[in-house]
Amino acid sequence: MDLGLENKVVIITGGYSGIGEAIVRGIAQEKGIPVIVGRWGERAALIENDLKQQNCDFLAVITELSQPEQCKNAIAQAVAKYGKINALVNNAGMNDGIGLENGSPEKFMDSLHYNLFHYYTMAHFALPFLKQQKGNSIINISSKTGVTGQGGTSAYVASKAGQLGLTREWAVELLPYQLRVNAVVPAEVMTPLYEQWLNTFDKPEEKLVEITKRIPLGKRMTTPEEIADTVLFLISERASHITGQHIFVDGGYTHLDRAV
């Protein structure tokens, strides 16, 4: 299926690792133009070199997403180089374990800055350019924790639930411009951050087996590429009448009876 993403400029936050990296690579494979926005990580040079070797057009903007002016600058750089923005994928964030008992109001607010506020900030500054063409879109990468809760991670869950709420709100607000807004909701995806969390357990391998046994479809983790494929579809014209949706890509983990 031709998704029609050739020469489409797609901004991806947190594009140097995990789900974000998979989205960047997927956009490049579809001959789109990924704009990678986020912190410089250990995989950054590898990803950029791979894209160069594939003769892919891309832009990398090292950005501290908690700083609004840096977000504005990232948008400005993309527009300066390409003259347009076709899609924004809000993805960056991490589960920092700031809970009700083990946190504080200050840590809670800091976590919201790192996990939620930049979703709004990036969308706010990208909006004037997204409005220039009907069919452009915003994708918010959320988490099943925003629906189910998890325990011990109030700030992250509040951020993820907030992202789902903003998805519906923006979908309504942007109807006059025919801009589509959707959320992709993963559950258990093997990323570097997830692997780091697993390694906090005494027996990571046993913990992983315990988790995958509860994933109904295939008893396996979702791959970053499966999340990316859903994102690519949603920003394409093949999804031209889909907006305001929370798309769960989780092997049935969130909604099906895990006893199966």
Catalytic residues: 156
**Which residues, in sequence order, are bridge partners of residue 140?**
90, 183
Matching residue, tokens 């947190």: 14
Residue 182 to residue 247: CA distance in whole angstroms = 8
**Which residues, in sequence order, are bridge partners of residue 13?**
37
Residue 194 to residue 78: CA distance in whole angstroms = 30
Q: Compute CA distances 44 → 37, 60, 71, 90, 211, whole Å.
A: 11, 9, 19, 18, 30
